[in-house]
Amino acid sequence: MRIACLGGGPAGLYFAILAKRADPTREIEVVERHRPEDSFGRGIVFSDRALETLRQADPPSHAEITRNFRHWSDIDIHFKGERITAHGHGFSGIARASLIRILQARAEALGVKVSNGSEFTDPSPWDDRDLVVGADGIRSAVRRSREARFEPVVRESRNRYLWLGSTRRFDAFTFAFRETAHGWFNLHGYRYDERTSSCIVETPETVWQAAGLADMGYEESLAYAEQLFADVLEGEPLIGNSQRFDHPSGWQRFAGIRCRRWWDGHTVLIGDAAHTAHFSIGSGTRLAMEDAIELARCLSRDNGDLASALARFQAVREPLALRALETGFRRMEWFEDIAAHAHLAPDAFAVALLTSSGRLDLEELRRRDPQLMGSFSATAR
C-alpha cells in the first residue's frame, strides 16, 4: 500500500508511525513545508489521561515525549489584583518543536520518508497513491481542494489572539486578566521547558479595534501586550513566532471547524484539517493524535476495504471531535464575554472560569481542591 500524508504536524507524523508499525511493507511519505526546528507555535499541553493513550499506542515515542515534559498541577488566576490558586489539575507541557522532532525521528527510524521543505497547493500530484491523508491543519489545502465533498462548517471567534513565547517561567498554568480603557484583555501562560513558557494574549475584536491594534505591526503588538502584562511577566519579554499570519498585526481569530464528511474516495482528513477545538481547552493535539491512532486501527481492521475503513474512522471519531468542539465553544464564549463576569469577586470569578467549559463541575472542583471551594462557599454565603 502506498500512502501520502500531506502535512507533517502531530496528526500526519503520528499516523505515519502507527501505519508503518502495523505493516512495514507500506510505502509511506510525509510531505511538510517546515523543518522540525521551524515548526510554528510554542508549547502545548497534554492531560495525564492523554499521555496514557499515547503510551498504549506507541511506547517508544511516548517515552521520548515524557522525557521532554514539564509537569504541573496548579492553576493561578490573576484577577483584580488578587491571585487565586487552584490545586489538583494534572497537565504536562512540551515544546511543539520538540514533539515534532521526536515524532519525525521515530517515523524515519521506522522507514517513513519525510520530505521537509515541500509546499503543496493541492493533493492532485499524489492521486496515484492508495491513500492520501490530509493532515495539513486548520487551513488545509486538501480540504479546500474538495470543499463541496467535505462540506466544512466554520465558526470564527469574536476574539483576536497572539500565540507567543516568554522567558517568564510560570510555575503554574496562569490566567491573567487586565481591564483597559477599551475593554478586557487576558493572557494564558504555561511553561513547557526549563527556560520558556507559552503565552496566548486574547481580546475581543471590538476592544482590539478600539485599542488601535488593527493598525499596528507585529512588533508593536508584542510591545503592547508585554507592557499590559508586565507585572505577571515579571518584566520578562514576550517572544514572537515565525508563523504566517492572516493579519499584519499578527492577531488571529480562532476558527471552529467541522466537516460533514471526512473522506472522499481515497482521500481522508485528520486532525485540525477535519475539525478543531478552541485552544483554551488544550485538546487539539491530543485529538489529532487520537485521530491518527483510530485511522491506523481502522486500516488494519478493514484491510483491503478502504471505503469501510474510512467510513468506520469517521463514525468513531466524529462524535468525540464534535464534543470537543462544543466544549471549546463554551470556553471560547466565556472568554469573548469577560465583561459579563467582571463584577464577580476574584474567587467566584476563578470558579466560574474553571467550570466554564462544562468539563469540570463544582463537585469535581471540590474533590480536586477542597480549600479553594471552602473559601469560595464561605464568601458566597
Residues forming contacts to ligand FAD in the complex (CB under 6 A) are 7-12, 31-34, 41, 44-45, 119-120, 135-138, 141, 163, 200, 271-273, 279, 282-286, 288
DSSP-derived 3-state class of residue 250 = coil
Which CB atom, from 11 or from 216, has the smaller least distance to ligand FAD?
11
- CB of 202 within 8 A of CB of 185? yes
Q: How far is the CB of 140 from ligand FAD (least distance, A)?
A: 7
Instruction: Look at residues 320, 293, 295 and name the one whose alpha carbon lies nearest to residue 61.
Output: 293
Q: Which is nearer to ligand FAD, 123 or 346 (CB)?
A: 123
Query: Nearer to ligand FAD by C-beta: 11 or 176?
Result: 11
Nearest approach, Cβ of residue 108 and ligand FAD (Å) = 16
End-to-end CA distance of the chain: 65
Contacts of 81 (CB under 8 A, 6+ apart): none
Q: In the chain, where does DSSP find H-type helix?
A: 10-22, 48-57, 59-67, 96-110, 141-145, 147-150, 205-210, 218-228, 284-301, 306-336, 346-354, 362-368, 370-380
Residue 282 or 346 with smaller CB distance to ligand FAD = 282
Cell reading at 189 = 501562560
> Among residues 204 and 346, whose Cβ is nearest to ligand FAD?
204
- The closest of 363, 361, 377, 262 to 313, measured between CA atoms, is 262
Between the alpha carbon of residue 274 and those of residues 262, 265, 267, 291, 348, the distances in Å are 6, 15, 12, 10, 37
Q: How far apart are CB 297 and ligand FAD at their closest, in Å?
A: 18
User: Closest separation between CB of residue 276 and ligand FAD, Å?
Assistant: 6
Residue 44 vs 298, nearer CB to ligand FAD: 44
Least separation in angstroms between CB 262 and ligand FAD: 13
Q: How far is the CB of 351 from ligand FAD (least distance, A)?
A: 22
Residue 209 carries which side chain, given as an amino acid letter?
Answer: Q
